[in-house]
Structure 1
Amino acid sequence: MDDDVIIASAALIIINEEETRKRPKRKRRWWTTTLFKSRKTCSESQLMTNLQVEMEYGLFNNFCRMSAKEFEWLLNAIGPEITKQNTNYREAIPTKERLAITLRFLASGDSYTSLSHLFKISKQAISSIVPDVCKAVIKSLQNYIKVPSDTQQWKQIAETFSTNSNFPQCIGALDGKYCASQNPIHGNYKSDDSIVLMGIVDADYCFIYVNVGCQGRIGVDGGVFENTPFYKQLQDNELHLPKDDVLPYRKMKIPFVFVADNAFPLQKHIMKPYLGNHGSGSVKRIFNYRLSRARGIAENAFGIISSVFRVLRKPMLLQPERASTVIMTCLYLHNFLRKNKISRDIYTPQGSFDRDNDGIVTRGTWRIEDLTTPLKSYLPLRDVPRTNSLANEEVRTEFAEYFATIGQVPWQNIKLQLLL
């Protein structure tokens, strides 16, 4: 290219840049709509204040799923993470409103559009607020879900299971759910993607381990547990579990175990029910009943979460990564509310959980909603038959024989007559 052409090209570029600078900027039609402009006169802050005034009627607790005191504590904990600065163009949405929006989304499962009308904030802003607040909540509540770090903590869990559920040497109840999501980016609404939630619950209905992973379509099974970091630690003996011990008045040493359903494998540290129907009074049927009592702890914990945080009960119109963050937030809030003395009775009032008093079962209130409102998400994992090793069968047999003999409870034979 000769010099004349280069000079001409440079001159043309300079002329275009000058014309661009002189071109008047297009005037923005509006910064916000009339609906959202009214937020200052009828703001969410005013709504929250009114709800706090009506505390005695439980309106605030129902709206945010926690008391005003826990709300303020959480607000102070995550405030530095979610606070935004005002600009020359607009005022930032207050931190209190950001938390209220997120809690209401988790509690109701309403769409961003519906929340937009309630809070008078654009759904685009809400779509940014919810994941930011969820991440801040998870970060602030990290210590509320922790795997026991030493043998003594595991033994304390086992003692509580033995006292409350009559299942000795049980150190947790394992369960999982499919949480459906619809990815709005790919727009594939004909078949939902599923997020697999795994959790281990202690005898006080609190999670000691959770894993939320994007696993594709609802075609996978409970085998995904074997891909979790917890499973690898379990196999590598890195969890500091108590050493194998004998059941009372028995001779065979057996490991401390997690109880699970048939979606999970029978392994050294995982006990599951016997498949099939078994005769009344049989050793296998007794074992299945006793295991179901202990495993019901996890079933109730998962049930309470979906009953309180209704966002889990239907497919979330979110990207899988954001949907996973929402699910994790619900789990951390569950432990936070269960471990707090003030919110504990608000979050799980009397009658929330199943109660088995000497074989007489009273169903928890969370089950009523499951019967009246069919779930579109949060579905149980599929049962998968597997071949069990002889060593693992021997451990299960030892438990079964103990429950049928020296370890029996007076009402188990009466209860067995009620089982189908």
Structure 2
Amino acid sequence: MNEISRLIRIIKIINIMCVMVKMYLLVRQRLKRRWWVRPVNLTRQRLGFHETCFAQLKLNDKEDFFKATRMSVTKFNVLLTLLREKLQRFSRREPINEEIRLGITLTYLSQGCSPQFLAWTHKIGVSTIRNIIYETCDAIWSELHSVYVSPPNEREWKDIADRFYVKTGMPHCLGAIDGKHIRIVCPKRSGSLYYNYKKTFSIVLMAMCDPDYSFVFVDVGALGSQSDGGIFARSAFGNMILRNNLELPPADNLPGTNTRFQYYFVGDNAFPLKPNLMRPYPGRNLSTAKQNFNKKLSSARVHIENAFGILANRWRILHTTIHAAPKNLDKIVLATVVLHNYLMLDRNSGYFDPNLVDHVENGVFTPGTWRQTSTGMTSIRISQANRSTAEAFQARDELAEHLLNN
């Protein structure tokens, strides 16, 4: 018994010594610092970017304010009101207020500038800038995604299908699906997990959009090294599509016929053919019906390309190679998606420009202006194996015949 009590006493002494060593190292590290706050940062309240430039843009230069934040002053104020409680901080020293936090984050996302540059201009420590960006991006997603990126109900699904039919002639189409690689700096100790077929490091943004270029479902964070079929199958909505677990409208008559046909999504050759997921016919020298089907499907599928184009054009952080930990990468990308949907709802806000997307003008096809510059996001690679059922092939053939005859 005495030996046990002696052993317990020794363990306690060791624990106390460990705590003392940690405290000594912490104090020593702090003493090594030349200053607690850099002298130049002490002038932030008088000479910082927010006080000298951002506030002036907000009051007097609406055009440059839009370039800096991708939104009007009104939309900025509404967004600030929605996020204020989440961004509020309390400290013995005067904390950085909510407007500065949101302004820093929007500038970072819209311009793709480095946190170090923002630290110099705002006269704030670079580690503080990074924390502000990650915390604000997380607040944007957690507070707003349930409103602006929420799954549609049955009535909303049917409304999406009707709008797709009016714009493209594809009946019962619920959305266009695609995935993009977003370049990143290789995370520490990750090996080749994020190394993709383009010989860069990336994470994958898988998304589906409606005919108005707003995102309906998004999934981000898949490793760049994964096969594209695996990425889709492991994504939340991809898994629901493949297992037919989405609450979609029941099969209905195709327009002008008594033929019942289920609702479906469209994608390119990277995706498997399923009864609820249409992809183009492969090969050349196709029949008239198949060529017509591919043309119609392409007119619907191009909406997701344009949605990604608008996203990357407005939030130019996606043009760059993002340097952040994987958990923070997800926050950054998801924040851009929520902001995209938030601003797309108001077509008069200036965020959406019809010239940005592919359109037909006086009978002439005009590619969107986003195609004139590289978005920095590459498409997922065509999968080599797509096993499909006879039911899926039959459904595609049936739809192709309907499109040809109507």
* Percent of residue pairs bearing the same amino acid type: 32
Distance 1:174 1:92 in 2: 43
List per-residue Cα deviations over 1:129-181 (Å, max 9, x = no partner). 1110001111221210111122x221111110000111111011111111122
SS of 2:47's partner is coil
- Are the aligned partners of 1:183 and 1:319 in contact in 2 as well (CA < 8 Å)? no
Larger Rg: 1
Q: 1:354 aligns with which of 352, 358, 376?
A: 358
TM-score normalised by structure 1 residue count? 0.83
Aligned to 1:402: 402
Tell me by how many angstroms 1:250 deviates. Answer: 4.2
List per-residue Cα deviations over 1:93-124 (Å, max 9, x = no partner). 22211111111111111111122122221111
Aligned to 1:146: 150
List per-residue Cα deviations over 1:287-344 (Å, max 9, x = no partner). 111111011111101110011111112221111111011100000000000013542x
SS of 1:198's partner is strand
Q: 2:273 aligns with which of 266, 273, 277?
A: 266
Distance 2:201 2:402 in 1: 43
- Are the aligned partners of 1:354 and 1:363 in contact in 2 as well (CA < 8 Å)? yes
- Are the aligned partners of 1:149 and 1:239 in contact in 2 as well (CA < 8 Å)? no
What do you get for the CA RMSD once the two structures are aligned?
A: 3.0
- Are the aligned partners of 1:252 and 1:398 in contact in 2 as well (CA < 8 Å)? no
Q: 1:65 aligns with which of 39, 58, 70?
A: 70
User: For this pair of structures, how many residues does the alignment match?
Assistant: 383
After the TM superposition, which residues 252-263 of structure 1 pair with which residues of structure 2 at under 5 Å, given as runs?
252-263=259-270
Q: Which runs of 5+ in 1 are unaligned?
A: 408-420
Tell me by how many angstroms 1:353 deviates. Answer: 1.4
Aligned to 2:312: 306
- Are the aligned partners of 2:176 and 2:303 in contact in 1 as well (CA < 8 Å)? yes
Distance 1:240 1:178 in 2: 29
- Are the aligned partners of 2:292 and 2:404 in contact in 1 as well (CA < 8 Å)? yes
Aligned to 1:231: 238
Q: 1:40 aligns with which of 31, 39, 45?
A: 45
- Are the aligned partners of 1:278 and 1:284 in contact in 2 as well (CA < 8 Å)? no
Tell me by how many angstroms 1:187 deviates. Answer: 8.1
- Are the aligned partners of 2:358 and 2:368 in contact in 1 as well (CA < 8 Å)? yes
Q: 1:96 to 1:248 in 2, by over 3 A?
A: closer
List per-residue Cα deviations over 1:206-253 (Å, max 9, x = no partner). 111111123242x52144221223234335544331222332344543
Aligned to 1:416: none
Q: 2:367 aligns with which of 363, 366, 386?
A: 363
Q: 2:346 aligns with which of 340, 351, 357?
A: 340
One-letter amino acid matched to 2:273:
L
Aligned to 1:92: 95
Aligned to 1:384: 383
Q: 1:355 to 1:222 in 2, by over 3 A?
A: farther
Q: 1:201 to 1:358 in 2, by over 3 A?
A: farther
Q: 1:184 to 1:234 in 2, by over 3 A?
A: closer
Aligned to 1:118: 121
One-letter amino acid matched to 1:285:
Q
- Are the aligned partners of 1:182 and 1:188 in contact in 2 as well (CA < 8 Å)? no
Q: 1:61 to 1:27 in 2, by over 3 A?
A: same
Distance 2:345 2:105 in 1: 21
TM-score normalised by structure 2 residue count? 0.86
